Amino acid sequence: MRGPGFLEQLEVACPGAVVGRNLEALDPWIEVAGDRLADVCRWLKNSSVPRFDSLQCITAVDWFEPDPKKAAKVTWQPHLELVYHLWSVSARASLVLKVNLPRWSGDIPGHLPEIPSVAGIWRTADWHEREVFDLSGVSFTGHPDLRRILCPEDWEGYPLRKDYEMPLHYHGIRGK
């Protein structure tokens, strides 16, 4: 993570894209608006100093508490958080992007939230986005080949969602 100067350049290149930040965290992060993600990533890959030429990891964190007793005590609203860990090979610097998404598009269970794909910017994202789609249920628009990668193609549900329930049967195999 660069200093505040880096953030100002980002603000000039992509006005209004940064909607939150925490520079005091262990891994300082900036939060980006979902619809501006592709612009920000393209700038980070091609034009920023240093250039973030490598994407290390994409993680989806499901902020949802299935237990109603515990849910009454939590301070956050239920949402999905995508975390992008970027790395600059030349400058040996890292950067963390976060994007907040609704758990379901339009709050209709089963309708996956959508986010622009960055697979055209970093090829690493191809398989990583497929994995996030497979396990956490996020739809990446513009992805060249979005299908399940680790689970079988006819698997139902998204295992890394907090309210996921293991199927009782899968092709005659007992699930529980």
Backbone angles phi, psi at 163, to 5 degrees: -100, 15
Q: How far is the CB of 134 from other proteins (least distance, A)?
A: 9
Question: Is there binding between residue 124 and other proteins (CB under 8 A)?
Answer: yes
d(CA 29, CA 23): 6
CA gap 107, 126 in Å, rounded: 27
Interface residue with other proteins among 44, 118, 135, 138 (CB under 8 A) is 135
Whole-number minimum distance, CB 49 to other proteins, in Å? 17
Residue 85 engages other proteins in binding (rule: CB under 8 A): yes
Among 19, 42, 151, 157, binds other proteins (CB under 8 A): 151
SS3 call for 73: coil
- Based on the shown chain and the rule CB under 8 A, indicate whether residue 8 belongs to the binding site for other proteins: no
What are the tokens at 11?
A: 């603000």
Q: Is 147 in the site for other proteins (CB under 8 A)?
A: yes
Nearest-approach distance from CB 107 to other proteins, in angstroms? 22
Sequence-distant (≥ 6) Cβ neighbours of residue 167 within 8 angstroms: 156, 157, 175
CA distance 132 to 158: 9
Residues 94-123 that bind other proteins (CB under 8 A): 94, 96, 122-123
Q: Compute the CA torsion angle 109, 77, 80, 84 (nearest 10 deg).
A: 170
Q: Which residues bind other proteins (CB under 8 A)?
A: 25-27, 53-57, 59, 61-62, 83, 85, 89, 92, 94, 96, 122-124, 126-127, 135, 147-154, 159-160
